Amino acid sequence: MTEYALILISTIWVNNFLLVKFLGLCPFMGVSRKLETAIGMGMATTFVLTLSAISSSLVNDWILLPLGLEYLRTIMFILVIAVVVQFTEMVVHKTSPLLYNLLGIFLPLITTNCAVLGVALLNVQEKHTFLESAFYGFGAAIGFSLVLVLFAGMRERIRVADVPAIFQGNSIALITAGIMSLAFLGFAGLVK
């Protein structure tokens, strides 16, 4: 049980995918302008990341390894991720058309979110079991959503702040992201 808790803590804070591993920065900058959108994007990504971590671990253990096709791993995982994203898009379109409109192009773009493929490949690299893979994917997604929502909250406040002219727009957002990343590096001190 402890190891699962450790995986969660590690992926959410210590090895946060966005701020420490720098994976998935495209939606981090793209959909963090509004808090509601960021929450929706966080939920969609959580769903996709967990499901794709589980299914790519299954595909790896039950199909690729027995057949000796490890070299097909990347293309197979991309296939799995694309299917999961497509499925998520249909579900979101059906259940919440407003969220579907708000997320726009960023919903199909979860396919190319490198955090998703990164989780699947890191699972294999670190020889995680099925359950560990699921927790790793879920923790990574929670960490991603947490940072995305925090960042969106800050950006909403920054928009009304008196920012010097040269820092306005994306530059202040990038600087904020850098400072957040520094702050998250502090969690590395948890591990001794």
Partner 1 sequence: MSVLIAVITLSSIAGLFGLVLGYSAIRFRVQGDPVADKIDAILPQTQCGQCSFAGCRPYAEAIAKGEADINRCPPGGTATMLALADLLGVEPKPLAEEHTGEPIKTVVYIDEQTCIGCTLCIQACPVDAILGAAKQMHTVIESECTGCNLCIPPCPVDCIHIMPVKVQPETWRWPLPEHPPGTAPRVSAL
Tell me which of 3, 5, 33, 36 binds partner 1, using CB under 8 A.
36
Return the residue matching tokens 């999961």: 84
Q: How far is the CB of 51 from partner 1 (least distance, A)?
A: 12
Is residue 65 a contact point for partner 1 (CB under 8 A)?
A: no
- Which residue, 101 or 168, has its beta carbon nearer to partner 1? 101
Residue 101 touches partner 1, criterion: CB under 8 A: yes
Close Cβ partners of 116 (under 8 Å, ≥ 6 residues apart): 24, 45, 48, 49, 52, 81, 110
Decide: is 90 part of the binding site for partner 1 (CB under 8 A): yes
How many Å separate Cα 18 from the centre of its chain? 7
Q: Which is nearer to partner 1, 89 or 173 (CB)?
A: 89
Q: State how far the alpha carbon of 7 is from the alpha carbons of 33, 74, 138, 156, 176, in Å.
A: 30, 23, 10, 31, 27
**Taking a C-beta distance cutoff of 8 angstroms, is the pair 164, 72 a contact?**
no
CA distance 99 to 19: 26
* 83 touches partner 1 (CB under 8 A): yes
Among 1, 2, 67, 192, binds partner 1 (CB under 8 A): 67
CA distance 62 to 55: 10
Asked if 131 touches partner 1 (CB under 8 A), the answer is no
86 binds partner 1 (CB under 8 A): yes
Q: Give residues in contact with partner 1 (CB under 8 A).
A: 36, 59, 63, 67-69, 72, 75-76, 79-80, 83, 86-87, 90-91, 93-94, 97-98, 101-102
